[in-house]
Structure 1
């Protein structure tokens, strides 16, 4: 991740999830201040937390905003450890904002609703920090899809000057990195995209029918939201629309990185999280490819993915054919832009039993971040 030098005061900011008008109706709660090494934390009774790092010398305003987005039934607290590690590695000129707008059962409200909430939250953060110039996103699981919708809401083109081409911006800021980990980019419907079902077509069909248990979000994830005559939302999110430029927004980031568990992730399959066809999943060598990050078993540079679009498939009915066609279209459109892929394995460690959450580094285990 690119971070310009100059600032000495990185900060972590967490939004409280309420509109300003609502806050004026409530009594201000007393803030508590405490110290954790060089990190200063302030919290109130609602659990809202602001962290900052104090360095000796003159305070300067940061210019790079990193937005971290939680997944299903998650919260901003899931990012506390990872955010601190990011600030340690990139201590200059950085604000890390752990989103609070979509948490707990609010994550059942649908990718579109949550994406709009996140976009509004980001606008508020940017407004509070006029010195910001750059922006990056880090999303875990469902959070990656929410971030994809939000950046489409925030996408804009600056008016060109002289003969220059119009500059693409996200919330008025220069887009830098878009990072996802264990995100179901292709959805969770069929084709072994949810390893928990062990490839059982009966269980996959049952899960699709029961997707309403997760509210509107469940329908979006299982591509079961086409009741209004429109294509499923995830399928619409791989092309530019009149009001939402999904692909243009994603393409304007300098780097796009997809982290994926190759095994032991019982909720999100390797193919959907790495945006590959199953025939393109690489054969991995034994052992880590990076001594510093032992759980990383494969790193694929942008543009090095297989170009083979042919895949042997067994289609027994029209519904399965439709599922495959939707997945193929999503892969085809998303891979028109370059992605860096990082494949992760926790095989042989106790972390493997919680691989889906471990890849987020919500608690301390080892070095995970490879940016």
Structure 2
């Protein structure tokens, strides 16, 4: 399903979740069509419908990657790519992007990555054990009067069997039951890069101009608030209970620039105020305050991954090789007429310099380890949270119809209360139109 305007150059691919179809995006596409003027080509992926989603992140991701290749081949005028995924669709998208990413130029299938947006996606996988990755239904069952502990224990006991038997490869991937001796589960692999296999899962995410994740504060029996918004329980914001209780959509959202790559903020600052101290720019101050950039301003200290030259996460544990490559990238920005253009030209050298250190450091970190579900969740959380995300918190406690998990997508007519979330997504795309560097007025 797609819509055409006169030579649109920005492809937006929408990926549905488990056991759903491309029609789950009908309401969202109708909402995004309201953007005027629009250079968007909207495409709801149709290659993983219904039970095909049970084949695993990898098989679904490969099919999606081939679908995107076909679109790019047919629509030769395309130059930009954005992705919106609901639930498992976000995981399928992450896999596809990882095998489409080109570490030399930082593009995805030849297109410049702009927005990465997920709605109720279980980025940390799903577990039956306590923690941010736990399926909320399991925790809810534990609160049933009298029978709660027994019901919860039964669900935990049969969870792995159900995952393997009913959901096949996808169940094994979600619960990190895949991987043999000496092999990491796919959930961990998708939080890093494997250059020897041409898989750049982390770098592909980092290459996007901005990232946003929407999550339900409660009443989502499949994906927890922490999981969908890539937070630990301790990091969850304090939202007034009455706001949550009456919620019928977005109840709290980070500023639009929260998910913007700090390196791009640096470039924007260079263009907007070359003679000013970068740290004094309001966008940079916001990034520093949120922890996206280290308070010491040491932008060359970047965490791991080949694409670290383009994304300055708040890490002080980078390998020397990655830091050296990144320092060169930032040096090229200073004094340039266009900070953003300079960053793009510097990106490939930074990638090459950091690649060896990234692979070696990660291999040492996980070599020979036996990963429990809790360890897998912790690893994925630690890695993903180092990237800047715009976190958007949603509540449907005040809604009378539909489940929160589907309301957030406005999947069907019973989920119409979720139209307000789609409006918010449209607003996010509008603010970030073009290069995504302009501030919201």
Q: Kindly state the Cα deviation for residue 287 of structure 1 after the two structures are TM-superposed.
A: 5.5
8 A Cα contact 2:136 2:220, kept in partner: yes
Q: Secondary structure at the match of 2:215?
A: strand
What residue is the counterpart of 1:70 in the other structure?
Answer: 16
Does residue 225 of the first structure (1) align with residue 178 of the second (2)? yes
What residue is the counterpart of 1:322 in the other structure?
Answer: 372
What is the correspondence of 1:1-371 to structure 2 with a 5 Å cutoff?
13=2, 51-52=3-4, 60-158=6-104, 167-189=105-127, 190-191=129-130, 193-198=134-139, 200-212=152-164, 213-227=166-180, 229-242=182-195, 243-286=198-241, 295-301=249-255, 302=258, 304=290, 322-351=372-401, 353-363=402-412, 364-365=416-417, 366-369=419-422, 370=424, 371=428
Tell me the distance in 2 between the aligned counterparts of 1:156 and 1:358.
35
Tell me the distance in 1 between the aligned counterparts of 2:71 and 2:170.
25
8 A Cα contact 1:288 1:294, kept in partner: no
Distance 1:333 1:201, change over 3 A: farther
Q: Kindly state the Cα deviation for residue 286 of structure 1 after the two structures are TM-superposed.
A: 4.5
Q: Kindly state the Cα deviation for residue 91 of structure 1 after the two structures are TM-superposed.
A: 4.7
Unaligned runs of 5+ in 2: 143-151, 259-286, 295-369, 429-441
What is the CA RMSD across the aligned residues, in angstroms? 2.6
| Structure with the bigger percentage of helix | 2
Tell me the distance in 1 between the aligned counterparts of 2:251 and 2:291.
16
What residue is the counterpart of 2:147 in the other structure?
Answer: none
Q: Kindly state the Cα deviation for residue 228 of structure 1 after the two structures are TM-superposed.
A: 5.3
Tell me the distance in 1 between the aligned counterparts of 2:120 and 2:161.
23
Unaligned runs of 5+ in 1: 1-11, 14-50, 53-58, 159-166, 308-319
Higher alpha-carbon deviation: 137-146 or 217-226: 217-226
Tell me the distance in 2 between the aligned counterparts of 1:132 and 1:253.
16
Q: Secondary structure at the match of 1:203?
A: helix
Tell me the distance in 1 between the aligned counterparts of 2:230 and 2:36.
28
Considering Cα pairs closer than 8 Å and 6+ residues apart, tell me whether 1 or 2 has the greater RCO: 2
Q: Secondary structure at the match of 2:71?
A: helix
Q: TM-score, normalised by structure 2?
A: 0.63
